[in-house]
Amino acid sequence: MAGNKTFHCQLITPEAAMVDVHAEQVVFTAHDGEVGILLNRAPLLCKLGIGEMRVTTEQGTQRFYVDGGFAHVIGNEVTILTERALAAEDIDPAEAHQELADLAKPGERTPEDAQQRELMKRRAHLKIKLAKKQ
């Protein structure tokens, strides 16, 4: 049962509620840097960046790859809404390395293509980093 130092945390994608726990701490990547949440945090609504989310409970810390979205914190409830999230243990490092290799292939690129490729590289590098922490 949740103690008095915990708060409710959910990580929700269009496909599923990936996390629904009582947490002691939640850390996520906002669009402008990392944000840490503890019990009795002031209300917050922010845009998420691409990054790692850590959820610490009495059982330990779970790590997730989160690809943008929004975080809402109010009244000891944290809700993370994102289009895409992966548990770190579900990330296939070989697949992420293949994504990087595919992005390195030569070809004509517009400035928009270059920006998109850099974003895709950041995603792949983060997946590799998270997979190594498991």
Residue-wise pLDDT tens digits, 33-62: 999 999 999 999 999 999 999 999 999 999
Q: Assign 117 a pLDDT band (cuts: 50, 70, 90).
A: confident
pLDDT of residue 1 exceeding 60: no
117: domain range?
A: 91-132
Any bridge partners for residue 81, and if so which?
12, 70
Which residues are 7's β-sheet partners?
23
Whether 47 and 58 share a structural domain: yes
The answer to whether residues 37 and 99 belong to one domain is no
Asked if 49 and 15 sit in the same domain, the reply is yes
Handedness of CA 124, 34, 22, 2 (dihedral sign): positive
- Identify which of 95, 120, 75, 88 has the alpha carbon closest to the alpha carbon of residue 18: 88
Beta carbons of 50 and 83 less than 8 angstroms apart: no
Cβ pair 40, 109 in contact under 8 A: no
Strand partners, 66: 51, 85
User: Is 64 found in the same domain as 108?
Assistant: no
Q: How many independent structural domains does the chain possess? A: 2
Ranges of beta strands (E only) in the chain are: 7-12, 17-23, 25-30, 33-37, 44-57, 60-74, 77-81, 85-87
pLDDT band at residue 108 using 50, 70 and 90 as cut-offs: low
Same domain, 44 and 71: yes
Task: Please check the confidence at residue 131 and state whether its pLDDT lies above 70.
Answer: yes
Residues 125 and 64 in one domain: no
Comparing 27 with 130, the larger pLDDT belongs to 27
